[in-house]
Amino acid sequence: MISKSKYLISLFAFLFLLLLGIQVYFMYKTYLVKERDIYRTIHQGLTNYTDKLEEVSKAKDVSIEDDLQRIFIKYRDKKISKEEFLRYFEQNKKNTEPQISKYIDNHFKKEGYKIAAKIQYTSILSLPDKTPLIEKPVVLYETKNKLKKTGIASSGKWETSSTSTTDGELNKRDSFLVESITEFEILNIKTIVFKELILLFLCCFLLLASVLALFIFTVKNLIKQQKQVEVLHTVVDNISHEFKTPIATLKIASKALKKDWNPETLPLIDRQISRLENLMRQLHKDEEGEIFLIKPEDWNFFVQDLAFTYPEITFNSEINVAKKLPFDKSLLETIIKNLCENSVKYGASLVKVNIMDLHESLMIEISDNGEGIEKKELKNIFEKFYRIQSNNIHNTKGLGLGLYFVKKIIDQYKGKIEVISQPKEGTLFKINLPYEN
């Protein structure tokens, strides 16, 4: 049963982790698809805009006097230096930056996109000899927002040409092969994608949380049921042991009665029968029996019955009670006998019973010279079905109900119980029951 439950828990955990992995993979792929879709939309729009960037800069009259074609020719013909040639691009980038940034921001303001873009020439070749004019890319246009990581890059290649005249004569054709690359990035892409997919992510999270909650609830219930089953098995295996003492006493009394008539034997048998009935009533608390108040002589009977049942154990009693007390006789008998039998179970050879009438309360002290109780066990000994263990092994038989019944009765009378114990030295139980309750 336990191994099967562990297998089911392991299978459940594996399936949950598998579901978690699938959900995370699904959300990650959905995020990537949405990101690509947004970039694709922006790319289509920017392709049209970047084609007009030169028109934008010229419209604002911010370009250098010479256009690109003339700059290319001047540099090729060594009419300007390399520094002047590169300065043209740097100055052009600086002059066009505000207008281009505003131009792009306005077109994507509605969508809330924060875009960084850059257009640069990667190669300029003079035709027909393909002489390179630049050694590394030069930036022509760039926005105020700078690229951190390129989102999408698109390249282009075209040939420029013009007709030039020298000394009034035509006619030489100047051509250049230009390669460019346009890069852009949506700087707030993660925020945008998350906002658009937040409902989906929330649903996935709630689904996983619900499955996890159901898993935890199921495991807790399964563990609880297993404990109940274990307790039930323990009860079934040991139920005869709890009734062993009164039954053994009845057997001994029966044998004694057969051998020799003793007027004390029949009352002893009656007391043990009553005790069996009381034990059953405690196990089935819904069944109410007749209540008898305890009399002074009843205390001696409790100790005599114990001495009769355990002739090898020495029971010393000191009883200072001279009146009938407002307590149920059967309940007080359960306290005395359960504590004394508990001492016997755990190796005591001497048990002392001291009962005192303190006018406002009843004091019961039961001590022994048994094995004693470890300090870590003391807080648990009154729990239902709890039994003291040594290396996870129960050394004595029993249901673990004796001390539970004792504590329950004391609580019913609003009393107090104190346990003082030293391993290998013995245990002392001190009980105080107020009369007013």
- Residue 141: name the closest of 217, 82, 85, 62 by CA: 62
Q: Round to whole Å and give the CA distance between 51 and 266.
A: 118
Judge whether residue 62 has pLDDT over 60: no
Q: Quick one: pLDDT band at residue 411, thresholds 50, 70, 90?
A: very high
Judge whether residue 284 has pLDDT over 70: no
Q: Quick one: pLDDT band at residue 354, thresholds 50, 70, 90?
A: very high
The answer to the question of residue 390 being in a domain is: yes
314 or 48, which is more confident: 314
The answer to the question of residue 206 being in a domain is: no
Q: Which residues pair with 320 in a beta bridge?
A: 356
Q: Are 179 and 256 part of one and the same domain?
A: no
Q: Round to whole Å and give the CA distance between 389 and 394.
A: 5
Q: Are 426 and 326 part of one and the same domain?
A: yes
How far lies 138's CA from each of 106, 163, 179, 323, 389, in Å? 26, 26, 11, 113, 83
Judge whether residue 57 has pLDDT over 50: no
The answer to the question of residue 217 being in a domain is: no
Query: pLDDT tens across 128-184, in order?
Result: 888 898 888 898 888 888 888 877 777 888 887 665 555 444 344 678 888 888 888
When the pLDDT of each residue in the chain is averaged and rounded to a whole number, the result is: 78
Task: Please state the φ and ψ torsions of residue 365, each to the nearest 5 degrees.
Answer: -125, 125
The answer to the question of residue 216 being in a domain is: no
Q: Are 186 and 266 part of one and the same domain?
A: no
- Residue 352: name the closest of 363, 368, 332 by CA: 368
Q: Which residues contact 95 (CB under 8 A, 6 or more apart)?
A: 57, 62, 63, 64
Q: Are 181 and 253 part of one and the same domain?
A: no
Going by the DSSP 8-state scheme, the letter that residue 261 receives in this structure is -
The answer to the question of residue 229 being in a domain is: no
Task: Please state the φ and ψ torsions of residue 65, each to the nearest 5 degrees.
Answer: -55, -50
CATH number where 372 lies: 3.30.565.10
Q: Are 142 and 262 part of one and the same domain?
A: no
Q: Are 188 and 253 part of one and the same domain?
A: no
Q: Are 127 and 30 part of one and the same domain?
A: yes
Residue owning tokens 């590394």: 136
- Residue 72: name the closest of 132, 157, 135, 155 by CA: 132
Query: pLDDT tens across 77-136, in order?
Result: 888 888 888 888 888 888 888 888 888 888 777 878 888 888 888 898 888 888 898 888
Query: pLDDT tens across 295-309, in order?
Result: 888 888 888 888 888
Going by the DSSP 8-state scheme, the letter that residue 134 receives in this structure is -
Q: Which two tokens stand for residue 304?
A: 């005599």
Q: Round to whole Å and give the CA distance between 119 and 53.
A: 10
Q: Which two tokens stand for residue 229?
A: 């089953």
* Cis? peptide before 128, omega within 30° of 0: yes
> According to the model, what pLDDT value does residue 351 have?
92
Total domain count, the chain:
2
Q: Are 308 and 402 part of one and the same domain?
A: yes
Residue owning tokens 């060594």: 78
The answer to the question of residue 67 being in a domain is: yes
Chain centre distance of CA 356: 53
Going by the DSSP 8-state scheme, the letter that residue 371 receives in this structure is -
Please give the full DSSP string across 286-354, using - where no structure is assigned: T------EE-HHHHHHHHHHHHHH-TTSEEEEEEE--S-EEEEHHHHHHHHHHHHHHHHHTT-SEEEEE
Q: Are 11 and 150 part of one and the same domain?
A: yes
* pTM flag (> 0.85): no
The answer to the question of residue 148 being in a domain is: yes
Q: Are 181 and 254 part of one and the same domain?
A: no
> According to the model, what pLDDT value does residue 78 have?
87
- Residue-range definition of the domain harbouring residue 429: 244-434
Q: Which residues contact 309 (CB under 8 A, 6 or more apart)?
A: 245, 248, 249, 252
Q: Are 283 and 137 part of one and the same domain?
A: no
Q: Are 369 and 270 part of one and the same domain?
A: yes
Q: Round to whole Å and give the CA distance between 357 and 142.
A: 100
The answer to the question of residue 28 being in a domain is: yes
Q: Which two tokens stand for residue 389?
A: 């263990």
Cβ–Cβ < 8 Å for 237, 214: no
